[in-house]
C-alpha cells in the first residue's frame, strides 16, 4: 500500500526505533519503537502510535493523557532502519510531566533535572 514503508528495515522482532522531535524548536521529545502497524496507523491518523514493548501492544501516544503528537514531517536515515517524526506536541511528551523525556542532564558526574513540569502526572493519570 505504501511503497516507502516497504523500504524500511524492521529488526528481527518486527520493530524499528522511533525518534520524535518538536517541529517548532527541534527538541528531542522521546525515543520509542514502532512496528509496521504502528507506522500505518500513524500515517492514517496523523497521530503518533508506537509499539509498546512493555505492554506488548500498539499504543496511541497520549491515549491516557490526551497529550497527542501531531505528525508534521516523517524522515528515515541512510540505512532506513530508524524513523524520525517531527510533531506538534500537545502539552508535554513525558509521562513524568516534562515537555521532553530528556529532562536529565549529565553534570559533574550526576544527573540534574532541567526544566519544569508542564503538568502534574498524579492529576493527569488519576493515580
Cα separation of 112 and 114, whole Å? 6
Helix locations, 81-120, DSSP H: none
- CA torsion sign for 78, 34, 14, 12 is positive
**Residue among 68 and 103 whose Cβ is closer to its own copies:** 103
Q: Per-residue contact track with its own copies, 67 to 86, x per CB under 8 A? A: ------xxxxxxxx-x-x--
Task: Using alpha carbons, select from 57, 123, 61 the residue that is nearest to residue 94.
Answer: 61
| Among positions 10, 15, 17, 52, the unique one binding its own copies when judged by CB under 8 A | 17
By CB under 8 A, tell whether 31 contacts its own copies.
yes
By CB under 8 A, tell whether 12 contacts its own copies.
no
Instruction: Tell me the three state secondary structure of residue 96.
Output: coil
CB 90 within 8 A of CB 83: no
By CB under 8 A, tell whether 19 contacts its own copies.
yes
By CB under 8 A, tell whether 103 contacts its own copies.
yes
**Residue among 16 and 68 whose Cβ is closer to its own copies:** 16
By CB under 8 A, tell whether 124 contacts its own copies.
no
Amino acid at each position: 500500500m505504501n511503497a516507502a514503508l516497504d523500504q524500511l528495515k524492521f529488526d528481527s522482532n518486527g520493530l524499528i526505533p522511533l525518534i520524535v522531535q518538536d517541529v517548532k524548536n527541534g527538541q528531542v521529545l522521546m525515543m520509542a519503537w514502532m512496528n509496521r502497524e504502528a507506522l500505518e496507523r500513524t500515517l492514517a491518523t496523523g497521530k503518533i502510535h508506537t509499539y509498546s514493548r512493555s505492554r506488548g501492544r500498539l499504543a496511541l501516544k497520549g491515549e491516557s493523557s490526551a497529550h497527542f503528537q501531531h505528525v508534521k514531517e516523517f524522515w528515515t536515515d541512510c540505512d532506513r532502519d530508524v524513523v524520525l517524526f517531527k510533531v506538534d506536541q500537545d502539552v508535554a511528551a513525558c509521562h513524568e510531566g516534562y515537555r521532553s523525556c530528556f529532562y536529565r542532564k549529565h553534570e559533574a558526574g550526576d544527573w540534574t533535572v532541567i526544566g519544569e513540569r508542564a503538568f502534574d502526572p498524579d492529576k493527569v493519570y488519576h493515580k
